[in-house]
Structure 1
Amino acid sequence: MHLKEIFRKKRYSIERDRFPRKLGLLDLTFLGIGAIIGAGIFVITGQAAALYAGPGIVLSFLLGAVVIGISALVYAELCSAYPLSGSAYSYTYATLGEVVAWLVGWNLLVEYGIATSAVATGWSGYLRTFLEQNFGFTLPKMLSGAYNPSAGTFIDLFAFLGTLAVFILLTLGIKKSATVNTFIVFLKILTLVLFLIFGITHVDFKNLE
């Protein structure tokens, strides 16, 4: 295989892009917000503030906002120049070549796999705690954690069911998925806004000294 073939670029045409365009401005906006403000904010933030960063987590959020803003601008430019399906894979294929796009594609698969596992596990933990504290319902230990025979856990049932539910939703089509995503992102933003409103009165600014 010649070096030229490895770095060959694919020529795209909007007319040849056969995927139907069913998402409107509102759908795309909420998809973007949902990607930027991930569910991890409910899973990792508390642990990071309590165990590691402390008040410094404010600076972490500010730095993260700058990085995310730059990434968002890059995606905005690319999707305007290449209004095609395929996201980063298609953009990379059209600009940097096949081998780089191949690496990006596998990187995305690994990234989304790890992120999905982390969020599903965190969601499962919150759900188990909620059911135990409010309804006295406790899962058998073997169904309440990842595979670890020495700890007596074999499968995280709630994480599996949550992931399965999302999978089934995706099979119903992009429009239904986007509608559910819009609703969930709206609830997520509402939750964060209410948290800020009610939490601001309990801030101890001495912790920032």
Structure 2
Amino acid sequence: RHKILGHVFSGFCTKMNRCKQMNTGEEALETPLKRCLNTFDITLLGVGHMVGAGIYVLTGTVARDIAGPGIIFSFIIAGMTSMLAALCYAEFGTRVPKAGSAYVYTYVSVGEFWAFVIGWNIILEHMIGAASVARAWSGYVDSLLGGAISNITVSITGEMHEQLFGKYPDFLAFAVCISYACVLGTGVKGSAMVNSILTLVNLGVMILVVVVGFYYANLDN
């Protein structure tokens, strides 16, 4: 009986950790997907994925309440860590030239079970990331309007006092997420073009903030 259970458990572990076999040579580059993105599009996709709304939402709060001037070193450490992650992805992308990102890389190198876990983590990451960006954008628009959106929403729906939820349902953030989905539904090329435009605007705003910050900087601080 123990031998049977051991054999079953061993077979189960073997199946969980089996790795995907990759084709070699030119067959490894074959894909049913249409290659419609150029280097510029892919570069801005990567930049847009790394530079999100967090740099606007968290930077001031962290500098004021936690790190102070030491936030410069925090950004340097975070940048070095991001560079290491980028180099890892570049190496994996060269060795495993297949669509699927970290899911495929894990499936080929570690095993099926861990690829399953990584795949669902990627889905969760993008869901949380999209929701946080939409919430941040909604908060900024509401702030520019003097809190009109939140006040009207609270007057209609009332406040929610649950600890894990916001004070009111954010319909504007929901509309932003639906807009994301509609843009993605237009196709890869269309969504990449929108991403490129927004990323360039984002980088332009960051450069403007840096230049203005240097101009008004007080060295006594």
Q: TM-score when scaled to structure 1?
A: 0.88
Which of 7, 12, 16 pairs up with 1:6?
16
Q: State yes or no: 1:199 paired with 2:218.
A: no
Q: State yes or no: 1:150 paired with 2:161.
A: yes
Name the CA distance, whole Å, in 1 between partners of 2:152 and 2:107.
48
Taking a change above 3 Å as real, the CA distance of residues 143 and 88 of structure 1, as seen in their structure-2 partners, is farther
SS in 2 for 1:72: helix
Name the CA distance, whole Å, in 2 between partners of 1:144 and 1:158.
14
Q: State yes or no: 1:74 paired with 2:88.
A: yes
Contact conserved, 1:143 with 1:155, CA < 8 A, in 2?
no
Which of 128, 140, 147 pairs up with 2:152?
140
Taking a change above 3 Å as real, the CA distance of residues 78 and 122 of structure 1, as seen in their structure-2 partners, is same
Larger Rg over CA atoms = 2
Taking a change above 3 Å as real, the CA distance of residues 15 and 193 of structure 1, as seen in their structure-2 partners, is closer
Task: Return 5+ residue gaps in structure 2 as ranges.
Answer: 1-10
Name the CA distance, whole Å, in 2 between partners of 1:139 and 1:129.
11
Equivalent residue for 2:5? none
Task: Return 5+ residue gaps in structure 1 as ranges.
Answer: none
How big is the shift at 1:81? 1.2
Code of the residue aligned with 1:2 in structure 2: it is: F
When the two structures are aligned, how many residues end up with a matched partner?
204
Equivalent residue for 1:55? 69
SS in 1 for 2:21: coil
How big is the shift at 1:139? 5.0
Code of the residue aligned with 2:160 in structure 1: it is: P
How big is the shift at 1:137? 6.8
Contact conserved, 1:131 with 1:138, CA < 8 A, in 2?
no
Name the CA distance, whole Å, in 1 between partners of 2:75 and 2:13.
42
Name the CA distance, whole Å, in 1 between partners of 2:195 and 2:173.
19
The percent of aligned pairs where both chains have the same amino acid is 32
How big is the shift at 1:194? 0.9
SS in 2 for 1:10: coil
Alignment of 1:85-100 (within 5 A): 85-100=99-114
Taking a change above 3 Å as real, the CA distance of residues 188 and 143 of structure 1, as seen in their structure-2 partners, is farther
Q: CA RMSD in A?
A: 2.4
Please list the CA deviations of residues 88-130 of structure 1 after superposition, one character each: whole Å capped at 9, or x if unmatched: 1111111111011111112212222222222211111101111
Name the CA distance, whole Å, in 2 between partners of 1:144 and 1:183.
36
Contact conserved, 1:120 with 1:162, CA < 8 A, in 2?
yes
Contact conserved, 1:93 with 1:100, CA < 8 A, in 2?
yes
